[in-house]
Amino acid sequence: MSGPDTEPDITTQPRTGLTPRQARRIRVILASVLMAVMAVLLVIRLAASTSFLVVADYGLALALCGTVIQLSRNGRTRLGTWLLVLGVAAALATDWLLLP
């Protein structure tokens, strides 16, 4: 016997996870912290060797962090998260594998 009284009410179940606003705020904070870390790493690497490739690598990572902040503000948090993870990993891998 099915009817309107036998179906579970979705609105009474507690919500799990983050709200979209909380998710955006976390991504913005994470991207800002990673931007500061990339800036510190850039200064450290420039003190060791002044190379255009070092500036380009960390400059692109800084620009990527800024792009992720804008994407998160516009509600594209999943895309921003993937870009942030892959971009920072690529920048660090490039520094470790390719740069002098």
Residue 85: predicted pLDDT: 92
The confidence band for 89, taking pLDDT boundaries of 50, 70 and 90, is very high
Task: Write b or e for each residue in 48-84: b if 16 or more Cβ atoms lie within 10 A of its Cβ, otherwise e.
Answer: eeeeeebeebbeebbebbeebbebbeeeebeebbebb
Flag whether the pTM goes above 0.85. Answer: no
The answer to whether 58 and 38 have CB atoms below 8 angstroms apart is: yes
57-88 tens-digit pLDDT: 889 999 999 999 999 888 888 888 899 999 99
The confidence band for 50, taking pLDDT boundaries of 50, 70 and 90, is confident
Distance in angstroms (rounded) separating the CA atoms of residues 23 and 78: 9
